[in-house]
């Protein structure tokens, strides 16, 4: 049975497909679920997945991915507001905000929520890295300013990014759980 990935972000879908291709087909759908006002990615993703599953008549399970960039020197900003901050001030200015700070550490976190008729489950992944001046053409979002092991996420191909990324780790957890569950 296909899994419906509820998102407007094609980069997320590309990464999920690369990872889950052998498990289930991933179908992208747009559904404007309520983004609850919360500083918890888990709460936002769980509500989104549940609401979407209940609203659509099909039995096919849904997943929602809520991601944030948490910058140490800015007390975790933009965190759950990462999409809003990218759309308003943009990635380049987020870099400039932190370029003067001594501590350039940041962390990406993804919470993936899965919902079907039996309930909702969440899976989490995170990666720590260093903020740098933008480099690379791949990826999306904040990828060009986030360096891991000498390379920005935008300098990696999808497979290399998935192997170390917040989303890749959440997808790995999900795939393990989903595999065990469909075995029996």
Ligand X SMILES: O=c1[nH]c(=O)c2ncn([C@@H]3O[C@H](COP(=O)(O)OP(=O)(O)OP(=O)(O)O)[C@@H](O)[C@H]3O)c2[nH]1
Among 73, 105, 130, 140, binds ligand X (CB under 6 A): 140
24 binds, among ligand X, Mg ion, none (CB under 5 to 8 A by kind): none
Select the span of 16-24, 64-72, 117-125, 176-184 touching ligand X (CB under 6 A): 64-72
Virtual CA dihedral for 33, 125, 14, 143, nearest 10 degrees? 100
Distance CA 164, CA 127 (A): 7
**Size (the chain), residues:** 184
- Known binding residue 141? Answer is yes
Q: Is 126 exposed, middle or buried (0-12, 13-18, 19+ CB in 10 A)?
A: middle
143 binds, among Mg ion, ligand X, none (CB under 5 to 8 A by kind): ligand X
Distance CA 107, CA 146 (A): 9
Per-state percent for the chain, helix, strand, coil, to nearest 5: 40, 25, 30
> Considering 22, 39, 65, 66, which one is annotated as catalytic?
66
Q: How far is the CB of 183 from ligand X (least distance, A)?
A: 29
Select the span of 55-63, 80-88, 112-120, 174-182 touching ligand X (CB under 6 A): 80-88
* Enzyme catalytic residues: 66
The binding site for Mg ion (CB under 5 A) comprises 83
Output the known binding site for substrate. 7-12, 67, 140-143, 161, 166-167
């Amino acid at each position: 049975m296909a899994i419906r990935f509820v998102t407007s972000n094609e980069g997320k879908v590309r990464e999920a497909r690369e990872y889950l291709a052998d498990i289930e087909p991933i179908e992208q759908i747009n559904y404007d679920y309520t983004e609850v006002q919360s500083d918890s990615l888990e709460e936002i993703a769980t509500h989104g997945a549940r609401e979407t599953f209940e609203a659509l008549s099909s039995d096919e399970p849904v997943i929602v991915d809520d991601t944030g960039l948490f910058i140490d020197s800015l007390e975790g900003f933009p965190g759950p507001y990462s999409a809003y901050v990218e759309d308003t001030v943009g990635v380049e200015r987020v870099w400039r905000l932190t370029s003067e700070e001594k501590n350039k550490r940041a962390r990406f976190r993804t919470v993936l929520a899965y919902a079907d008729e039996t309930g909702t489950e969440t899976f989490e992944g995170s990666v720590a890295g260093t903020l740098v001046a933008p480099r690379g053409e791949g990826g999306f979002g904040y990828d060009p300013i986030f360096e891991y092991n000498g390379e920005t996420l935008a300098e990696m191909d999808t497979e290399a990014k998935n192997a170390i990324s917040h989303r890749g780790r959440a997808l790995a957890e999900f795939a393990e759980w989903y595999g065990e569950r469909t075995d029996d």
